[in-house]
Structure 1
Amino acid sequence: MKSNLKLKIDKRVIIYTSLWMILSALIIGLIFLSSKYFRIDWVQNRGFDTILEYGNVKDVYLTRSNGTGGIRVYALTMTLGMIVAIGFSLYNFNKKDLSVSELAIGVIFIIPCSLFGASFFGKLNAEGIGRHANGSTFWGLFAFWEGGMAIHGGVYVGSIVGLLIFYVIGRKTKVSLLVYADCIIPNILLGQAIGRWGNFFNHEVLGTPVAKIANSIPSHSDKAIDQIFSAYLQTHSRPLFLPDFILKNCLSIYSGENQIINNISLENGNVVLLSPIFFYESIALLLGWFVIMFIIPNVWKLFVKPIDKNNNVYKIDHKFSFYQFFNPWLKSTETKLSSKDAWKKALNENVCDNASQTYINLTNNINSKDYLEKKLVKNYVLNKLNNKNSYPITKAGVQMFSYFLVWNIVRYVLEAQRPDDHLFIMHYKNFSLFVIGLSAIVGLIGMILSQHFLPSVFRKPGWLYEVEYFKVRKIN
């Protein structure tokens, strides 16, 4: 006799399916439009080698008199980005009551591997197909202390290593790999957003020409740059609505044969404004991080209220919630209850009475010999008993896959305008766009699977997922 438990589809499933379909259509449409209308094929090292420095914006400061030493801003911003990303990961670990030592173990392995991956892909074919950066040998491709880094290589290698490490750790701590991934991976966006400003100081990550500012420039001084820029604005509208100190550090002196790029006629000696895509990427990634960190995991709370075990709604002190957001170590009291702690209480009390015994009784009555059907019914029972109030909780894994969706969508749009010698996979724009676009689609599919499929198949009693599932003493 098969189990009489039936998997019911309610109205929310139809709504969720419709929303996912709309989001999928928008993403596919954006990828198509970027490929068709934003793509521009050009090579920066063929005529755009000379980038003007304005306002003492440069990569190295405080060098010795002989030109050695100094502080490299790019390395400084990369380091700062890593520290901030680790700091917010620590915040997430604290929020999930996870051990900090587990994060430390992961960081020890992930960061070096990320640097090796970023260096490898950043130097591979950097000077043409089969010609690596600075004539590097195979082992020289891993010299991350030398110039030439590709963030995609760092993220992919670091993610693979991190997933392996936390899979092993999770089997001991009974914490889902997806929980660790949600706590760490989205914060890479924050590190990337900070690191992009290092590209501003070393005048990298610039896009296609957007305006010809002058036919020539008498010198590379700030005064000469101010003069040609002012003269341009007297006869033209402002090319981009960004501060002058950004635009004037995106000027390049074109040196090459006459050609047309982005409908701009270029001649040798022209002063050209290149698109500051480092700025666009930094802002877009920062916004994406905010959405993934604070909106995606909490948006469902707008539609339901935190309920205690007696079905009474918790009274939230919103002012105290604001203070606690900036100081997560503040504890709620009987008179001051934050939104975070109210929901923590509500989710802890969201388990059905006698859930463990009920689970054992119901699963023991499953007579189906079909492994998949039996597993689906078991997980259905487990999920229902762990969510008696049917909260539409954001499931473990959604934030992690959101990172890959957001980052790769941003990168795809900008990659279409980047020069062929500054791509993720250099000199192979079609392949580079394919890999990035595929990564975005994988991120979208991963979000859908994490929210709707994985909880129905991969859940175990006593493990921590989006919430900690109840334990059972004996499972037959």
Structure 2
Amino acid sequence: MFIGIIAVIIASIVKMKMKNIPLRELEWAIVIVVPLGILGGTIFGKAFIPGMIWYHVFFFWEPGMSLFGALALGTAAGFVWFYKRSKVTMISVWVYADCILPNVLLGQAIGRWGNMYNHEIMGHIVSYQSLGWMADSIRNRLFYFPPELAQVNVSSSMWDNIQNLAKNMPINASTDAWINAINMSSDIKVSNVEALATALASPIQYREPLFLYESMANCFLWFILTFIVANLSRWIQGKNKYPWDINPSAYPGWFNNKYKSLPESQVSMTTAQKPIKYKKVMIKNANGEEREIKMSFYMAWNKAYYWYEADEHQVDLLMEKQEKNIEREREIYEKLDFMKTQEKNSKKRIKTKYQSKFNNLAKGTDKYALVKKDYDNELVLMTKNYKEQRKELHQELGGFWRHFKPNPDARKLEEINNPNNYWILRCGVLTGGYVFGYMLIRIILETHRRPEELFVQNYPIADFIVLAIILLMGIAIIGIAQFLSPYKWREVGWLYEKSY
């Protein structure tokens, strides 16, 4: 588990460094998410085990960790943290998710090997010979311990004595033979001899290395997401829609059918957020050798889109409009805070106003009751008035749904940042791909698991329904991130798949 966590952290750091994303938020996320993920894994993995002592659910060092429990609590904590920090860093929470979540597959792949040592997550029964393609150190562990062993408390030193006894027993010794041998041995003292004998007499049933299949599938999915899916928009464009098709002189290189290199004076330059790097080459021609420049495939895409700097005037107009909206929201929040203080002071004034009247009246009299009624009515009226004013302001903000309020200029912002209308894979798609891909792997392998090792233990129908729902959520994330979010909620100054 520890090695898996380290692998996820290292891979995430590399990904964020490649995007020049500050690591401060990741550092704090590690402190928050890792402990909560471990807590979720151990609680969810042990809470449903029959006869489990309640406080043992917190013993994360013992077998019985739930991957889904760790993912659920860890992901929830990570989303809250990064969503809150995104308002400060102006980096989309989807960017953080894409840098981290696919790398969880590495942790899952490594963590599955712990199942081998714990004799967990095996598949169907197979012959020992059919596992000959595996190393003996793995093959000899591919079996479940008999359930009767759970009824016997045996120390490690006692197991040594049992192993010595087993060397002198026939291979197919019966339960009765084991009972007699254990009773006759002075070195073996256990509370439940019959359960131990039944377990020792049980034949070993070797099984498929299901944990290994999942580990390999996770590694394959990580490779697909990291190196193939993430680069799809660089490789796949419509006919004559590549940057070097639209403006050949701006992108000389091996990929350009017209210009493999060009003199620097002939290369079309554009305004970029970072310096564009070119490689100098010497080209032979009729006049001898001439120095020209060319660029790499990835640098061409950086120049065309990822580092492309939108028209400054248009960006300023959108920024001005955005700042006005932000300023109006700030004014409303300040007004709400002022009203809260004002309401508190009004209550104090009303209380002070009537306190002197109450002091001069005896409780229980009609006059006291009349004054008390006036006091209550004035408080209710004042509270109602402030409540209506707050309601109007909250309605202007948008209430809870203000967090999902579309930006009317989002489509315009997208157009000025992608004027050539390239097909671009959006931030968030890798996150949805992780959810969809892993659920697909899990659903396929779930058909080989024992009922007690399902995600929803012992309820296969409910298990597949839940997994299918999560898989559909992955598809929904892909759809929203790719086709909806760029045209509804993006704002000036934020980092998405590129800086806006």
TM-score bucket (shorter structure) = 0.5 to 0.7
1:249 correspondence with 2:141: yes
CA shift for structure 1 position 194: 1.3
Gaps of 5+ in 2: 149-200, 256-275, 281-293, 323-397
Which residue of 1 is the match for residue 368 of structure 2?
A: none
Larger displacement relative to structure 2 (156-165 or 92-101): 92-101
Higher RCO, Cα 8 Å, sep 6+: 1
Partner residue, 2:64: 148
Partner AA of 1:249 in structure 2: R
Please report the TM-score for the alignment, with normalisation by the length of structure 1.
Answer: 0.63
Counterparts of residues 229-268 of structure 1 (less than 5 Å): 229=128, 233=129, 238=130, 242=134, 245-251=137-143
Return the match for 2:2 from 54, 79, 82: 79
Alignment correspondent of 2:227 = 294
> In 1, Cα distance between the equivalents of 2:414 and 2:481?
14
Mapping 1:157-196, distance limit 5 Å: 157-196=73-112
- Which has more radius of gyration? 2
Counterpart contact for 1:309–1:350, Cα < 8 Å: no
Q: Are residue 278 (structure 1) and residue 223 (structure 2) matched?
A: no
- Distance of 1:399 and 1:175 partners within structure 2: 16
Shift of the 188–177 alpha-carbon distance from structure 1 to 2, 3 Å rule, reads same
Contact 2:8–2:104, Cα closer than 8 Å, also in 1: yes
Deviation at 1:334, TM superposition (A): 3.9
Could you tell me how far 1:418 is from its partner in structure 2? 1.1
Could you tell me which runs of 5 or more consecutive residues in structure 1 were left unpaired when the two chains were aligned: 1-77, 214-228, 257-267, 319-330, 364-370, 470-476
Alignment partner, residue 5 of structure 1: none
Give matches, 1:21-420, under 5 Å: 78-127=1-50, 131=51, 135-137=52-54, 139-209=55-125, 211=126, 213=127, 229=128, 233=129, 238=130, 242=134, 245-251=137-143, 269-304=202-237, 305-306=242-243, 312-315=249-252, 334-335=279-280, 337-347=295-305, 348-349=307-308, 351-352=310-311, 354-357=313-316, 359=318, 375=406, 378-420=409-451
**Partner residue in 2 for 1:221:** none
Paired residue type of 2:452: D
Separation (CA, whole Å) in 2 of partners of 1:413 and 1:240: 24
Q: How far did 1:86 drift?
A: 0.7
What secondary structure sits across from 2:206 in the alignment?
Answer: strand
TM-score, with structure 2 as normaliser:
0.60
Cα distance 1:186–1:136, how it changes in 2: closer, same or farther (>3 A)? same
Aligned residue identity for 2:84: V
Structure 1 residue 202 displacement after superposition: 3.0
- Quote the Cα distance in structure 2 between the aligned partners of 1:361 and 1:421: 59
Higher helix share: 2
Q: Distance in 1 between matches of 2:246 and 2:6?
A: 41
| Aligned partners of 2:41 and 2:68 also within 8 Å | yes
Query: Are the structure 2 counterparts of residues 241 and 439 from structure 1 closer, same or farther at C-alpha, using a change threshold of 3 Å?
Result: farther
What is the aligned partner in structure 1 of residue 354 from structure 2? none
Structure 1 position 88, deviation (Å) = 1.0
Alpha-carbon distance change, 118 to 362 in structure 1, aligned in 2, over 3 angstroms: closer
| TM-superposed deviation, 1:466 | 1.1
Quote the offset at 1:272 in angstroms.
2.3
The aligned residue for residue 334 of structure 2 is: none
Residue identity over aligned pairs, in percent, reads 30
Contact in 1 for aligned 2:406/2:488 (Cα 8 Å):
yes
Cα offset, 1:380, TM superposition: 1.4
Deviation at 1:275, TM superposition (A): 1.6
Equivalent position SS for 2:205: strand
C-alpha contact 2:113 2:212 (8 A) present in aligned 1: yes
Cα pair distance change 1:428/1:337, threshold 3 Å: same
Instruction: Give 1:248 deviation, angstroms.
Output: 3.6
Report deviation, 1:251: 3.9
- 1:140 Cα deviation (Å)? 3.4
**For the aligned residues, what is the CA RMSD?**
3.3
Q: How far apart, CA to CA, are the structure 1 residues paired with 2:252 and 2:6?
A: 36
Q: Contact 2:308–2:417 (CA<8 Å) still a contact in 1?
A: no
Per-residue deviation, 1:312 = 3.3
Q: 1:255 to 1:108 in 2, by over 3 A?
A: closer
Q: Deviations over 1:187-219 (max 9, x none)?
A: 00011111112222332211222x3x3xxxxxx
Provide the secondary structure at the position in 1 that maps to 2:249: coil
Equivalent residues of 2:407, 2:490 under 8 A apart: no
Deviations 1:5-60 (A, max 9, x none): xxxxxxxxxxxxxxxxxxxxxxxxxxxxxxxxxxxxxxxxxxxxxxxxxxxxxxxx
For the 8 Å contact 1:309–1:349, the answer to whether it is kept is no
Q: Judge conservation of contact 1:196–1:278 (CA < 8 Å) in 2.
A: yes
Q: Distance in 2 between matches of 1:429 and 1:303?
A: 40
